[in-house]
Amino acid sequence: MNNTFVTDSIKYIGVDDPDIDLFESQYRVPNGVSYNSYLIMDEKITVMDTADKRKGDEWMANLEAALGGSAPHYLVVSHMEPDHAANIARLAEKYPSMQIVGNVKTFMMIDQFFDIDIEGRKVTVKDGDTLELGSHTLKFVFAPMVHWPEVMMSYETSEKILFAADGFGKFGTIASDEPWEDEARRYYFNIVGKYGVQVQAVLKKLAGAEVSAICPLHGPVLNEDLGHYLGLYDTWSSYKPETDGVFIAYASIHGNTAKAAERFAEILREKGAANVKVSDAARTDISQCVSDAFRYSRIVFAAASYDAGVFAPMHDLLSHLKSKGWKNRKAALIENGSWGPTAAKTMKGMLGEMKNIDICENTVTIRSAMKAADEEKLAALADELIK
């Protein structure tokens, strides 16, 4: 993909970052990430976003190779987050005649992030404005809070290309060979999950436009079966479950709560439930648990009590879910405690701060280790959860 063409006149000039330890200092990315950038070759040569400073030199080399000695006329800034905007000052200094296209909020942030004087070089656009590049025309579609307030997408009207900013992005380098859905879902819910309403608003604005390719700022260019990707974004952003099934997240100190969670999964399967997934919240990347909690229709939280509250990995997961606006799901609780179980009460309190979480009336309390009598209680909870 590197240095290849999206169309005859739109070139990919982004870079892969396979070695980053944590994206945004919190997300594990086993297959790295890409910082996408594009060059539109027309009368007015236009750069669509820059790249992270980690890959500034490589990105600049890609750009120069694509320019072949020409100077860019415009830089369009879709998003000011440094994984895309870090090289704005460097580019602006290198090409003093280049104009910078953004909105009022973009320019406020450029002033905050950089110490450069770009007076006289700003092209300030409003939602719906167009910019003529020659045979290409960019139409700006503001997408506030998908992922930051200044975000704008650009729709190129002649070739019907949507430059989607962080929308439709994915963890994983372009070179990595993996299905789009899993890492795009984990990316979506952790990066923009909280802003479903805003994503819905952009999807509505774009509904009338014919799109032949989506060029995101991370991950592959999407140029076939676009209905599939748009459909997933519609499901995700409307907080509807994608998969009818049960996700069981457990947090166990010495393994007994884990056993109860695994047994509960078996009981659910025996009762005919499809798509039952179990994860150890202490050992699974929390962003993966967040992604699965959004994905499935029913969620089970199983946790050991800890210091008159709930064991930390479960506390963490619930805090993340709250901050990402998790809602509209059916939930079941299993707790464990050796002297005064408190996990369920704490989990209930945290779930009570989220919207429309329907918690099963049955709550199963295990005392230290599962006993035969707990089977029946788990079976009753299973019935209530999947009825």
Ligand X SMILES: Cc1cc2nc3c(=O)[nH]c(=O)nc-3n(C[C@H](O)[C@H](O)[C@H](O)COP(=O)(O)O)c2cc1C
List contacts with Fe ion (CB under 5 A). 81, 83, 147, 166
Report what 337 binds from Fe ion, ligand X, none; CB cut-off 5-8 Å by kind. Answer: ligand X
| Phi–psi pair at 150, nearest 5 degrees | -90, 0
- Supply the minimum distance, in Å, between the C-beta of residue 281 and ligand X: 12
CA distance 205 to 237: 14
Q: At what angle do helices 226-237 and 180-187 cross, to 10 degrees?
A: 30
Work out whether 363 is an interface residue with ligand X (CB under 6 A). no
Report what 342 binds from ligand X, Fe ion, none; CB cut-off 5-8 Å by kind. Answer: ligand X
Strands (E), 13-83: 15-17, 22-23, 27-28, 33-35, 38-40, 46-48, 74-76
Binding piece for ligand X, criterion CB under 6 A, among 60-68, 187-195, 267-275, 337-345: 337-345
Report what 336 binds from Fe ion, ligand X, none; CB cut-off 5-8 Å by kind. Answer: ligand X
Which residues does 123 contact at the CB level (< 8 Å), separation at least 6? Answer: 74, 99, 100, 101, 102, 131
Work out whether 176 is an interface residue with ligand X (CB under 6 A). no
Longest dimension (CA), the chain: 77
Residue among 124, 119, 57, 66 nearest 91 (CA): 57
Q: Per CB under 6 A, which of residues 301..330 are in contact with ligand X?
A: 304-308
Work out whether 340 is an interface residue with ligand X (CB under 6 A). yes
- Supply the minimum distance, in Å, between the C-beta of residue 159 and ligand X: 57
Specify the pairing of strand 33-35 against strand 15-17: antiparallel
Contact pick of 169, 172, 219, 341 for ligand X (by CB under 6 A): 341
CA trace torsion 93, 99, 102, 106 (10° rounding) = 30
Report what 14 binds from Fe ion, ligand X, none; CB cut-off 5-8 Å by kind. Answer: none
Which residues does 173 contact at the CB level (< 8 Å), separation at least 6? Answer: 16, 17, 18, 31, 32, 33, 34
- DSSP state for residue 239 in the 8-state scheme: T
Q: Cβ closer to ligand X: 282 or 299? A: 282
Report what 200 binds from Fe ion, ligand X, none; CB cut-off 5-8 Å by kind. Answer: none
CA distance 366 to 362: 13
Work out whether 256 is an interface residue with ligand X (CB under 6 A). yes
Q: Cβ closer to Fe ion: 81 or 150? A: 81
From the number of C-beta atoms within 10 Å of its C-beta (0-12, 13-18, 19+), residue 34 rates as buried
Work out whether 346 is an interface residue with ligand X (CB under 6 A). no
Q: Cβ closer to ligand X: 46 or 252? A: 252
Give the sign of the dihedral formed by CA 102, CA 142, CA 220, CA 194. positive
Contact 360, 348 (CB under 8 A): no
Q: Cβ closer to Fe ion: 171 or 306? A: 171
Q: Cβ closer to ligand X: 37 or 257? A: 257
Segment (H or E) for 85: helix 82-85
Work out whether 342 is an interface residue with ligand X (CB under 6 A). yes
Report what 257 binds from ligand X, Fe ion, none; CB cut-off 5-8 Å by kind. Answer: ligand X
- Supply the minimum distance, in Å, between the C-beta of residue 156 and ligand X: 55
- Supply the minimum distance, in Å, between the C-beta of residue 195 and Fe ion: 11
Contact pick of 78, 154, 198, 252 for ligand X (by CB under 6 A): 252
Work out whether 365 is an interface residue with ligand X (CB under 6 A). no
Work out whether 173 is an interface residue with ligand X (CB under 6 A). no
Interface with ligand X (CB under 6 A), residue total 19
DSSP per-residue codes, 334-369: EEEESSS--HHHHHHHHHTTSEEEEEEEEEEEEESS
- Supply the minimum distance, in Å, between the C-beta of residue 260 and ligand X: 8
Q: Catalog residues that contact ligand X under the rule CB under 6 A.
A: 252-257, 304-308, 336-342, 368
